[in-house]
Amino acid sequence: MTPTIKRLIFFTIVIALWESGFRLNLWNSVFFPGASQVLDSLVTGFQDKTLIYALEASFQRLLLGLGIALILGTSLGILLAKSKTADDTLGSLILAFQSVPSIVWLPLAALWFGLNTTAIIFIVVLGGTFVMTLNIRTGVKNVSPLYIRAAQTMGVKGIDLFIRVIFPASIPYVVTGARLAWAFAWRALMAGELLSTGPGLGYTLRFASDYNNMALVVGVMIIIGVIGAIADQLVFQRIEKSVMKRWGLNS
């Protein structure tokens, strides 16, 4: 039995038990709706395009914020890896910021930009930048000196050495950093949108909660989880496995 079939059977059983419990009145549906109620709310949300607009707004912020985070994180990571002074000073600051949840920047972001899309993108950028920086730094620093000496023996030096040897050798860390940056940025986006004035998935979740529409709350939670799982397992995890295999780091 393949893992996909196992998962399908598992989730079918979970949904069947969930709906059975609801129909048998094992709990109050006001506090936790049934699977059929959640499905109805999702169908309604997609039919009236509420969820489509929310998804569109969230993905626009995510793609822009994550793109900036990957570029900024890669640049900072290379700087920290190649400059001991930068590593000793800026590196310690980035390590400290890494431990601070990006959502706590929201009050400052709201003050600087207003409680709008720019503030949310700022939160997303912070969510992804630091983890990307630290992975790039580690990747460049861990390139085998054997590769560097061999390239230098063949006359490869300076920026050419970095582009042709050091950066390609650190690609596994780049992929892992991008995967982690995506996860941190996605969480930061949802947290930021929860406190925003909309639109977006996080705002839709808060709006539904304010109007006691728990079926839509659970529906949006499912959408957030499904998107996260698809992006991680079907995109980043596959890329990471492929790179690890190509670089001889995995069987």
Averaged confidence pLDDT in the chain: 89
Q: How large is the angle between the packed helices 214-229 and 171-194, nearest 10 degrees?
A: 170
Give domain status of residue 3, yes or no.
no
The residues, ordered by sequence, that sit 6+ positions from 249 with a Cβ below 8 Å of its Cβ are: 172
Looking at per-residue confidence, does 42 or 99 come out higher? 42
| Domain count along the chain | 1
pLDDT of residue 134: 93
SS (HEC) of the chain: CCHHHHHHHHHHHHHHHHHHHHHCCCCCCCCCCCHHHHHHHHHHHHHCCHHHHHHHHHHHHHHHHHHHHHHHHHHHHHHHHHCHHHHHHHHHHHHHHHCCCHHHHHHHHHHHHCCCHHHHHHHHHHHHHHHHHHHHHHHHHCCCHHHHHHHHHCCCCHHHHHHHHHHHHCHHHHHHHHHHHHHHHHHHHHHHHHCCCCCCHHHHHHHHHHCCCHHHHHHHHHHHHHHHHHHHHHHHHHHHHHHHHHCCCCC
Give domain status of residue 167, yes or no.
yes
Give domain status of residue 20, yes or no.
no
Domain ranges, residue 157: 37-245
Split at pLDDT 50, 70, 90, the class of 250 is: low
Give domain status of residue 109, yes or no.
yes
Give domain status of residue 107, yes or no.
yes
Whether the pLDDT of residue 152 is over 90: the answer is no
Residue 95 belongs to a domain with what CATH number?
Answer: 1.10.3720.10
Give domain status of residue 17, yes or no.
no
Give domain status of residue 21, yes or no.
no
The residues, ordered by sequence, that sit 6+ positions from 33 with a Cβ below 8 Å of its Cβ are: 22, 41, 214, 215, 218
pLDDT of residue 20: 94
pLDDT of residue 233: 82
Give domain status of residue 234, yes or no.
yes
pLDDT of residue 75: 93
